[in-house]
Amino acid sequence: MDKVSIAVFASGTGSNARHLIELERANALHPAHVAVLVSDQPECQAVAFARLANIPVWAKKHKEAGGKEAFERAVVSFLQEHDVRLVVLAGYMRLVGSVLLDAYEGRMINLHPSLLPAFKGLDAIGQALDAGIQQTGVTVHYVTAGLDDGPVIAQTPVAIKPTDTKETLSARIHEAEHELLSEVVRTVCLLLKENEEK
Ligand code: GAR
């Protein structure tokens, strides 16, 4: 069975990107193939790990690329050169613009550390802690023009313990993210394949 090439977009630590790459190495991401990594932060850990793993990387700051539109046009060309069929935003801390959306809407998913629509935007884990609630979670959704908006594909709840700090809660959120994102990536790639074979 053919693989489905995916691009992972990341701006920071890249633990989710790394998990996907490691799963593929262990033959556990089928039918997805992590073809490339894209970043707006050339010095971030996600980029360093992808380079070590010999994954083709496209990484530039918006400014260096000539602004957001030029950045996205160059990224879309790079994705097309690598036959990318699904874009996975995993800690990509930029609002996607119209150039990327026109090319990949319906084939672009985003991971967010809350049970959307609760706690959109930055520091969703801190927002949940500050709200004093007992449960938060993680969401994977299709990307649309709005911030952390778009149809939800899957969610996992994560309990907030009274003793939780940002560090302890973040660690459990990340575990839930690694599991949920890889499951959704496999399923969406299978669906893409099935649709293309019809
Ligand atoms: C993840 O928690 C992801 O949900 C979040 O950034 C983190 C990246 O972690 N994304 C957002 O907040 C997007 N709105 P990682 O770099 O270790 O994969």
Residue-wise pLDDT tens digits, 53-90 = 999 999 999 999 999 999 999 999 999 999 999 999 99
Task: State which fold the 4-197 domain adopts.
Answer: Rossmann fold (3.40.50)
Tokens representing 25?
């190495």
Q: Tally Cβ neighbours within 10 Å of residue 165.
A: 10
Q: Where are the domains positioned within the chain? A: 4-197
Give CA–CA dist 195/198, Å, rounded: 5
Give me the amino acid identity at 98: S
Q: Tell me the pLDDT tens digit for each residue of 85-131.
A: 999 999 999 999 999 999 999 999 999 999 999 999 999 999 999 99
Residue whose CB lies within 8 A of the most ligand 1 atoms, among 16, 49, 139, 144, for a mutation test = 16
* Angle between helical axes of 45-52 and 15-25 (0-180°, round to 10): 20
Distance in Å, CA 111 to ligand 1 centroid = 7
**CA-derived radius of gyration, the chain:** 16
Predicted local distance difference test score (pLDDT) of residue 71: 98
Cα–Cα distance for residue pair 126/131, rounded to 1 Å = 9
Q: Work out the pLDDT band at 197, boundaries 50, 70, 90.
A: confident
Q: Band of the pLDDT at 1, cuts 50, 70, 90?
A: low
User: Is 10 near ligand 1, meaning CB less than 6 Å away?
Assistant: yes
Q: What's the pLDDT tens digit per position in 126-156?
A: 999 999 999 999 999 999 999 999 999 999 9
For the CA of 46, the closest atom of ligand 1 is 16
**What spacing in Å lies between the alpha carbon of 1 and ligand 1's midpoint?**
31
Does the predicted TM-score (pTM) go above 0.95? yes
Average pLDDT of the chain is 97
For the chain, first and last CA: distance in Å?
Answer: 15
**Of 91, 88, 140, residue with least CA distance to 115:** 140
